[in-house]
Structures are given as C-alpha cells and as structure tokens.
Structure 1
Amino acid sequence: MLRLRSCLLAQLLSPRSASPLSPLHRLLSAAAAAPAFSPDPSIFAVEEYLVSTCGLTRPQALKATPKLSHLKSPANPDAVRTFLAGLGLSGADVAALVASDPQLLCASVEKTLARNVDELTGLGLSRPDIARLISLTSAGGHFRCRAIVSRLQYYLPLFGSPENLLRALSHSFYLIGADIERRIKPNVALLQECGLAACDIAKLCRSKPRMLITRLESIQAMVECAEGLGVPRGSPMFKHALDAVSFISAEKIATKVDYLKKTFRWSDAEVGMALCRSPMMLRHSMDALQSKSEFLISEVGLEPEYIAHRPAMLNYSLDGRLRPRYYVVKFLKANGLLDRGRDYYSVFSYVEKVFVQRYICPYKDAAPHLAEDYDAAHRGGVPANFKFT
C-alpha cells in the first residue's frame, strides 16, 4: 500500500503529467488564471458601477475608474445621479457627463450642485437652461465648482440673455473657464473703444466666442485689419468689418481682395468701395463669388460699377433668391406685364413677402402659373415659362 501511494504521488508530481490532458493541471491553471475578486460585498466596485448603473461603455469606465478609486460606496454617486435626473437630464445625458467628467460623481449635492442651481436660477436661468449649461461645460468640470456662478454673473449681462450665452458656449466651452479679469475684460474694453455696443459684442461673440478669449494683441491686429479695409472705428459698418476679418490671416485677405478685383472686373477704388459697404464678402468662397459674377454680369447684364455700388447683392443666395427673382422679372417683362425700367437691386433686396406681393400676386390672373414656376425655380429647376431663346 505504501508503495502504491508513493507511485501515485510520483505520477501526479511528474512533469509528464502536467500536460493539457491532466485534470489536476487544468484545475491549477484555471485557478491561477481566474480573475481575483473579493467576496466582500462592502467593497465598492467602481468600474462595474459605471457600466451597469451609469451606462458607460467598458472603455469609458476603465478610463474613469482611476479618478474615482477613493470612493467606498455608491451613496454620493447615486445622490448626484438623482439630482441630475431631477434637472431633466436623461440616462444617456448623465452617462455622457460622467464619461466627460467622472469626478462629477464626487461633488457634494447639498454644498455645491444644489447651491449652484439655486443661485443660477436667481440669475434668470431656467432648469432646462441649467441642464444645458451642465452639458456644455462638463468637459472642464466647471459645474462642480462654485466659481461658475460668479462667471455667469459677468457673462449674462454681456450676452444679454441665457440663450445667447448658451449659444456662445456651444461654440466654445472654454469661454466659461477663461480668466475674466486678465483676458475677457480687456478684450471687451477694446471692442467698446472701437464703438461696439454691448449688443454688438454679444452678437459678434455668439458665433465667435474666441473673440473674447484670444490674446489682446490678436484682437488689436484684427481691428487694424478692419480699418485697413477703409472702415473707420465707430462707424456702423465696423462691427461687420471686424467680423469679416476675424481669425483670417492678412495674406488670405489680400488674396481674396485680388480675386474680387479679377472676378468682378473692379478697379482698386471699386473694390475698396465694395468692401467698405459689404465687408462680409470676404467670407464668401471663391466658387460662390465666381458663380455670382457670371450670373450678374454675363446673364443679368449688370455693369461691374453698378455691382460695386450695391455689393449687398453678393450676400444673397444665388439659387435661393437672385436667380428665381430674375426669372420672374424677365418673364413679366417679356410678356409685357412689367415695364423695363425696374432696378434689379431693388428686386433682389426686397424681403420675400414684399417681393411676392409686388411681383407675383398682382399677376395671378394674367400669369396663373407664375407662383408655381417661381417655387420650382427655388428648388433649382428652370420651368418652361422661364426659358427664353
């Protein structure tokens, strides 16, 4: 018996028995490979909580877990999630917030989040506004900081309304974290010195909030560039000129000016006059400018000088306004329903309601299909009645 037990023990411990077919080897290997977990239910499994409760993906949870490793229970995260849900944020919204700023789950609901909501409500923000604000500023963790209230106390009067501010933040959430005293206020002061009122600054910065957070030297360079177009500070057109040249290099502006001269056959004086009256031409693509030049000069027959004096025409949509209206006027003239002395600039500049009242409605009996043909032209077609040989 002793010899038999010795043989069995030797066989089990033999290297040859440690083969893939060995039950003992498989058991030991499986035990070694099994993930270690603690049977202690008191230990808070952060990663699993983020996935199963917060709705994060596994990669998002893996990335967020180290920032929450100090949490010992789900009590505070649950309180934060409940608070956010009370503001109207969906489960998907909360998941996105946590993925962007995991430490939001560590914020104190009573001391920070609820106080921020109460004070922002006092500033005029609705709960939906606040929910949107949280989403827009989550990447920087700003809403879990008390400083957000004082920042909005400055920004709300500047932008004029919560909606304007939220629109600016949607373009650049960095605005909420910028240094107001050292960066924002000096830029605002410079814009005010250029004659821009608060409403002008708000309108300019809604779509270009970088105007507030960029270096003061950059703003000064933009101001000088706008003046270089021939638009003086303090003039009503200066805010448009500043908008047109903002964040465009001097080289690109010079290239666009040369292109305008060539495309519209303008002299130096004419391109200067056109830019003074409509500086936003600089924002149009070269293809769009080329198409409008071909249409206005070659098809409509307008003189380059006429266009230079009325450059606002170049800001209108070619297919949405210029071409359909031209077809209508040409049709009416060709059929003797309209005198030939009509000014095309007036035709193009009327708001849609006025154009229809003046050029469509009066001819519904003489030209019953005119309104239908006009609508078809808006959709890019050229109705048979608008085809002239």
Structure 2
Amino acid sequence: MLRLRECVVSRLLSSPSTSSSAIFPLRHLLSAAAAPISPGFAVEEYLVATCGLTRPQALKASTKLSHLKSPTKPHAVLAFLAGLGISGADAAAVVAKDPLFLRTKVDKTLAPKVVGLTGLGLSSPDIACLVSLTPDCFRSRNIVSKLHYYLPLFGSFHNFLRLLKRSPRLLSWDVNKVVKTNVVFLRECGLGDCDIAKLCIHAPRMLSTNPERVRAMVACVEGIGVPRGSGMFRQALCAVTFQSEEKIAAKMEYLKTTFRWSDAEVSMAVRKYPGVLRKSKESLKHRSEFFSEVGLEPAYIAYRPALLSYSMEGRNRPRYYVIKFLKANGLLDQYRDYYSIVMLSEKVFVEKFICPHKEAAPHLAEDYATTCKGEVPTNFRFT
C-alpha cells in the first residue's frame, strides 16, 4: 500500500498539469485506501455511494466485480481519475462503461501509461479524453505504442481524436497485421498521410478491414475510371467504400435514367465528382427535377457534376430564384452562366447580386435569406 501511495503521489500530485481542484479528492481517496478494511465489502453499495453510479448501473457493473473484496484498488483508481482532472460524473461514466477499470493496478498499469503518453506530447486533458472514450483500451498494455504510430499518421492528437470518436474501437485494432498493411498499400496508391487521415475520418473501417478488401475497393475505383495518383482518387475511394460492385453499377444506371445521360456522360460525371455515388436516389431525383425547371441540359450537368454537391435549400434554389427575379425585372445587366453563379462563395454572391439592388428591390435580401432557410416565398417582392 505504501508503494501504491508513493507511485500515485509522485506521478500525479507532483505533475504541473494536475489541477488544484483534484488535489483534495486525490489525497482523500489515497488516505481512505490506506485505512483498515472492514469485512464484508459491498460492491454494489460502493458503486452507488462512492463512484456515483445509478442503482441499475451499479447492479450491472457489480456482476463483473464480484471478486473485489475491498475498496483498496477502486479508491486508488478513483484517485488516479481525479488526478487527471476527470470529474466525478465523468469518472462514474468510465466505471459504468468499463467496470473492470476499478480493478486495474494504478502503479503497474495506469500511471506508467500516463508517463508514456506524456512522453508523446499528450496533456492531462488529452489523456483524460482517452480514458473517458475507451477505458478498456486505455488499460491495455500497448496503447502507448499504438499512439506512437497513429499520431504521426494523423498529424495531431486532435485529428486522431476525431477518428476515435467516430470509431471507439480504433485502439483495439491490430496495428501490425492489419492497419500498417492497409496504410502501406494506400501509400503505394499515391495517397499521402494527410489524404489517408482524411479518408479514414470519413471511413474509419478502411484501416481495420481485411487488406484484400481494401485492394478490391481500389480496383473498383479504377474500374469507374479514376486512376491511382489522380486528384480525385481519395474522393472516389471514399465514395465506393464498402459498396458492392453491383450496388455501384445500379447507382450509375439510376444516374443515366434520372439525368438522361449517355454512358459516356455518366462515366464523366462520376470521374469528376465521385461523391455522386453516395447520394440517395431521392436526393438525385430532387436535383434532376430542379435542374429541369432551371432549363439545364443533361450534358451541361454531366460536364459540371459539382452542381450535384451543393445544397438545394442552402444554395441552388435560393440563387436561382434571385437570378430569375433580377432577370424578370431588368436588373441583370448581362447573361450569367448558372454554374458560375452557384460556384461563387456566399459573400461574393451577396455582394454581386443582392447588395447592388437595395434601393430597387428593398425586400430582395430578406426574401433570399428566407429561401435559404427552406421557407420559399411565393414570389420575390419588387416593391
């Protein structure tokens, strides 16, 4: 017990990152851990009274802690969590998520990981995030070596955390046999670490899936006409991720029918904007109907498929109504190509097509803003 206290005190209390608010509960729990243990330790009551779990949570967690005969380890673990700045409520969440965390040795398992992760540049709040998100993975023996690999790959702990939040099992994946194999192959395909990070944030399973399946997805990308090393390769790989060839073929056929494209046109559209393969049929149908209303020819859309990426309510429809209003009232001095209008940033669009008409069309800005919210006015008002 003395050794336990010395370890926790030296590694947590003496740390500059340990908040002053954590000092009292840390010392209190350590003192309690050193006190004589009364017989008949009631785990469920301890989980409720000391750890802050609800009764149902405590009942469920207690089944995994039936061999716990004293509060010595739990007290030390709670002190450890307090030392990281984890609040009582968050500590309760950790215990509810992973009851076995309370049985972990602080001096031999938890504290050394803090030292190792600190050496990688992580702060106490960073480490607290890891504990809160994946307490079971945190107490595994190789978390430091995994972070040593992942941090350079993703560029920062912030980027890594984004992926971890989307896929909490990230730290349980086999790095050497699966993750590294997939990363090496993606690099061979011309993707840099930054591209791989962006790809995996949207499709985390790309790292953990069977390497043969990753190769099959790359082959699928090449099959739709996007070669390795091209500017659209990452977007195309993201678009086909975990979709079967049959499903992709069906989506391309739907695109042909919906937008009245030829085989060449649908292939060109997909090469230029692979993300169209992830659009729902309902979304595509909605856009096709709108572009028909605007008067855009199928070939025009196929050559400019980025039009399909923009929000109907937030960009396409409001801007079309503004241009239509300006033309109808003689306020547009020359013809404007629809694609060039949609591509403008919001700031530039407002400066070019809204602000100059404040006097002639005082309600234009208001009607445009209303339309951007999805509440399309019956007519834009001129007076």
TM-score, normalised by the number of residues in structure 1: 0.85
Distance 1:184 1:383 in 2: 52
Query: What is the alpha-carbon distance in structure 2 between the residues aligned to residue 133 and residue 207 of structure 1?
Result: 20
Q: Tell me the secondary structure at the aligned position of residue 386 of structure 1.
A: coil
Contact 1:124 1:162 in 2 (8 A): no
Which consecutive aligned stretches of 4+ in structure 1 deviate over 4 angstroms post-superposition? none
Matched, 1:110 2:107: yes
Q: 2:223 aligns with which of 215, 225, 228?
A: 228
Q: Distance in 1 between matches of 2:240 and 2:378?
A: 43
* Native 8 Å contact 1:54 1:95 kept in 2: yes
Q: Corresponding residue for 1:308?
A: 302
Counterpart in the other structure of 2:186: 191
With over 3 angstroms needed to count, the CA separation of the structure-2 counterparts of 1:101 and 1:66, relative to structure 1, is: same
Cα-to-partner distance string for 1:308-337 (whole Å, 9 max, x where unaligned): 000000000101110001111111111111
From 361, 365, 379, give the equivalent of 1:367.
361
- For the residue of structure 2 that corresponds to 1:68, the secondary structure is coil
- Provide the residue aligned with 2:74 in structure 1: 77
Q: Distance in 2 between matches of 1:130 and 1:325?
A: 47
Residue 143 of structure 2 contacts residue 171 of structure 2 at CA under 8 Å; is this kept in 1? yes
Greater relative contact order, per chain length (Cα 8 Å cut-off, separation 6+):
2
Letter in 2 for 1:292: R
1:367 maps to a residue whose letter is A
Output the CA distance in 2 between the equivalents of 1:340 and 1:78: 76
Task: Tell me which moved more, 246-255 or 58-67.
Answer: 58-67
Mapped pair 1:330 → 2:330:
no
Q: Secondary structure at the match of 2:217?
A: helix
Q: Indicate how the Cα distance of structure 1 residues 383 and 61 shifts in structure 2: closer, same or farther if over 3 A, else same.
A: closer
Give the count of matched residue pairs: 346
Amino acid of the structure 1 residue aligned with 2:326 = L
Deviation at 1:381, TM superposition (A): 2.3
Summarize deviations over 1:46-74 as a string: whole Å, max 9, x none: 12111222122334333333432333321
How far has the Cα of 1:356 moved from its partner? 1.3
For the structure 1 residues 267 and 387, does the alpha-carbon distance in structure 2 shift closer, same or farther, using more than 3 Å as the test? farther
Rounded to whole Å, the distance in 1 between the matches of 2:189 and 2:112 is 39
* Cα deviation code 1:131-160 (max 9, x no counterpart): 22112212xx12123311110000011111
Measured in 2, the distance between the counterparts of 1:188 and 1:272 equals 28
Q: CA deviation at 1:294?
A: 0.4
Q: Distance in 1 between matches of 2:150 and 2:301?
A: 41
User: Is the counterpart of residue 241 in structure 1 residue 236 in structure 2?
Assistant: yes
Find the aligned partners of 1:217 and 1:82 in 2 and give their Cα distance.
46
Alignment root-mean-square deviation, CA: 1.8
- CA separation in 2, counterparts of 1:367 and 1:87? 59
Answer whether contact 2:364 2:380 (CA < 8 A) is retained.
no
Check if 1:93 corresponds to 2:93: no
Q: How far did residue 179 of structure 1 move?
A: 1.2
Equivalent AA in structure 2 for residue 381 of structure 1:
E
Residue among 144, 147, 169 paired with 1:174: 169
Structure 1: tracts of 5 or more residues without a match = 1-39
Q: Is the 8 A contact 1:273 1:308 kept in 2?
A: yes
Partner of 2:371: 377
Instruction: Give the Å deviation of 1:122.
Output: 2.6
- Corresponding residue for 1:252? 247
- 1:234, distance to aligned residue in structure 2 (A): 0.6
Alpha-carbon distance between aligned partners in 2 of 1:88 and 1:340, rounded to the nearest angstrom = 63
The counterpart of 1:285, out of the listed 280, 289, 292, is 280
Q: Secondary structure at the match of 1:365?
A: coil
Match of residue 165, structure 1, among 160, 169, 187: 160
Letter of the 1:76 partner, please give it: K
Amino acid at match of 1:176: L
- Name the residue aligned to 1:342: 336
Distance 2:377 2:42 in 1: 69
Tell me which amino acid in the other structure corresponds to 1:202. A
- In the alignment, is the contact (CA less than 8 A) between 1:266 and 1:304 conserved in 2? yes
| Contact 1:333 1:340 (C-alpha < 8 Å) held by counterparts | no
Number of the residue aligned with 2:33: none
* Deviation string, structure 1 residues 257-295 (Cα, Å, up to 9, x no partner): 111000000000000000000010011111110010000
Contact 2:364 2:381 (8 Å CA) reproduced: no
CA contact (8 A) 2:363 2:381 kept: no
**Bigger Rg over Cα:** 1
Query: Which shifted more, 166-175 or 262-271?
Result: 166-175
Q: C-alpha separation between the residues in 2 aligned to 1:187 and 1:80?
A: 37
**Is 2:209 aligned against 1:214?**
yes
Matched, 1:131 2:128: yes
Q: Which moved more, 1:240-249 or 1:45-54?
A: 45-54
Matched with 1:357 is 351
